[in-house]
Amino acid sequence: MRNIGIIGGTGPQGKGLAHRFARAGHPVAIGSRSAERSAQTAQELNTRLGGGTSVRGTTNAGAAGSCDIAVLAVPFQGFAEVLRNLEADLADKIVICCVNPLGFDRQGAHGLYVPEGSAAEQAAAALGGSAVAAAFHNVSAVRLRDEPGPLDDTDILVAGDDPDAKSAAMELSAAVTGRTGIDAGALRNARVLEQLTAVLISVNKNYRVSAGIALSGLAADVRDRAGAA
Amino acid sequence: MRNIGIIGGTGPQGKGLAHRFARAGHPVAIGSRSAERSAQTAQELNTRLGGGTSVRGTTNAGAAGSCDIAVLAVPFQGFAEVLRNLEADLADKIVICCVNPLGFDRQGAHGLYVPEGSAAEQAAAALGGSAVAAAFHNVSAVRLRDEPGPLDDTDILVAGDDPDAKSAAMELSAAVTGRTGIDAGALRNARVLEQLTAVLISVNKNYRVSAGIALSGLAADVRDRAGAA
């Protein structure tokens, strides 16, 4: 079991992931700008999960400082400031980024330009002392919250250049889907995973669904393998 | 049945799609820079498919001029010239672009910068008189060629701004997967579909598979719907 800190843990994605990680037995610290709001979210999740789970609310800095693995689940707006504020707390830790840099206009959602290429690469550049991977961008917050069982029709694609961070994210994926995450190559591939969320938002709007991604053409034994990471 | 012209029909993706479209009963013209090579490919596909299929080899201009629906399956290198050469032949036609602007380096495949945003948007800009959609980027050429049945574990994501082109691509998807393609929003979303191929190439390398994409969270009735296109 790993101590997990969710930076931005009161938003839909952060809260949904916290729920899944806690249910799998990991101690989870919900971070937020507001310690009051994160305490509410923690209480809500503990109540929902029944006894034996340990979710606690704290600030983003508190979650970053106390965790083994931090999950960045904040909005892209203000992301640079979050990274600056948490750099020291996150030094030498594993950081998993699921931030989607998206804009919205009358054609729907679209990827925003990020000088570093992706939010995950921006995190890696800003957090020079942390081991960064990218994952959990494309899994629906609605399904994370509402479905009783693992999302076992869904694959978590994991991008990263650091083998430890990538392995940790791939293992943690099992708490969400019941199966190991997929090694989707170098951290720069995060730009595709992030922007893929814009495509899924289009699909959701067109079909009134909560779509996620799965890979086809993988045998069950391949999906369960740890990959070449 | 629609007359389909495959521009770049002797490459792996073009040939694989030609195979699937012809097997579904569509007359297919294989285009190539070399009419000799396309004649060989056409003969090979007709032999493989047995009687009753009509695949013929011709030049790219011949395929463009004679078709109702053109599928652009050429390499990105030289794409601008192909578009210039075929603009007149493709006027007033439906054009489906599956070109992937990818580069390769020691980290693997990666998306190339395209001033228009994507190869499909480049095609739409260059072919002002054509109705352009983007589809079939993420389906494995190996599986198109080798698997006996429809790739019914796979979704074809279709991006486009022209309703007729998008509908045509969504319908044509059934020849490949046995199910209607998915309306994945505006043509600009093609940039994600194109670059997603780079991620799949990483997955293929890591796991020695021929991965494709499916959507999770869609009920069967949703997948069979024509979407909001």
In this predicted model, what pLDDT tens digit does every residue of A23-40 receive, in sequence order?
Answer: 999 999 999 999 999 999
Q: What is the pTM of this model?
A: 0.95
Q: Going by C-beta distance under 8 Å and a sequence separation of 6 or more, which residues neighbour residue A79?
A: A72, A99, A101, A119, A122, A123
- The residue-averaged pLDDT of A171-197 equals 97
Residue A110 pLDDT greater than 50, yes or no? yes
Using an 8 Å Cβ cutoff, are A173 and A156 in contact?
yes
Q: Going by C-beta distance under 8 Å and a sequence separation of 6 or more, which residues neighbour residue B88?
A: none
Residue B139 pLDDT greater than 90, yes or no? yes
SS3 A183: strand
Looking at residue B51, its pLDDT comes to 77
Nearest Cα to Cα of residue A14 among A26, A37, A1, A31? A31
Band the pLDDT of B221: cuts 50, 70, 90: confident
Question: What burial class does residue A113 get, using C-beta atoms within 10 Å of its C-beta: 0-12 exposed, 13-18 middle, 19+ buried?
Answer: exposed
Residues 104-143 of B with CB under 8 A from A: 107-108, 110-111, 140, 143
Chain B CB within 8 Å of residue A33 CB: no
Strand partners, B211: none
Band the pLDDT of A163: cuts 50, 70, 90: very high
CA distance A124 to A14: 20
Chain B CB within 8 Å of residue A56 CB: no
What does pLDDT average to over chain A? Answer: 95
Looking at residue A224, its pLDDT comes to 67
In this predicted model, what pLDDT tens digit does every residue of B88-132 receive, in sequence order?
Answer: 999 999 999 999 999 999 999 999 999 999 999 999 999 999 999
Dump the DSSP string for A43-62. Answer: HHHHHHH-TT--EEEEEHHH
Report how many helices (DSSP H) and strands (DSSP E) chain A contains, helices first.
9, 11
Q: What is the CATH number of the domain that holds B126?
A: 3.40.50.720
Chain A CB within 8 Å of residue B202 CB: yes
Share of chain A above pLDDT 70, in %: 97
Chain A CB within 8 Å of residue B181 CB: no
Using an 8 Å Cβ cutoff, are A58 and A49 in contact?
no
Domain count, chain A: 1
Looking at residue A221, its pLDDT comes to 75
Looking at residue B225, its pLDDT comes to 65
Share of chain A above pLDDT 90, in %: 92
Query: What is the extent of the structural domain holding B22?
Result: 4-228
Residue A64 pLDDT greater than 70, yes or no? yes
- The interface pTM score, or ipTM, of the predicted complex is 0.94
Looking at residue A219, its pLDDT comes to 80
Residue B227 pLDDT greater than 50, yes or no? no
Chain B CB within 8 Å of residue A37 CB: no
| B35-49 helix and B12-23 helix, angle to the nearest 10 degrees | 40
Instruction: Name the minimum distance, in Å, from the CA of B140 to any CA of chain A.
Output: 9
Band the pLDDT of B10: cuts 50, 70, 90: very high
Contacts of B221 in chain A (CB under 8 A): none
In chain B, the residue whose alpha carbon lies closest to the alpha carbon of A203 is B184
- The residue-averaged pLDDT of B199-219 equals 95
Q: Do B107 and A215 touch (CB under 8 A)?
A: no
Looking at residue A1, its pLDDT comes to 87
Q: What phi and psi, each to the nearest 5 degrees, are found at residue A211?
A: -80, 145
Band the pLDDT of A80: cuts 50, 70, 90: very high
Looking at residue B220, its pLDDT comes to 74
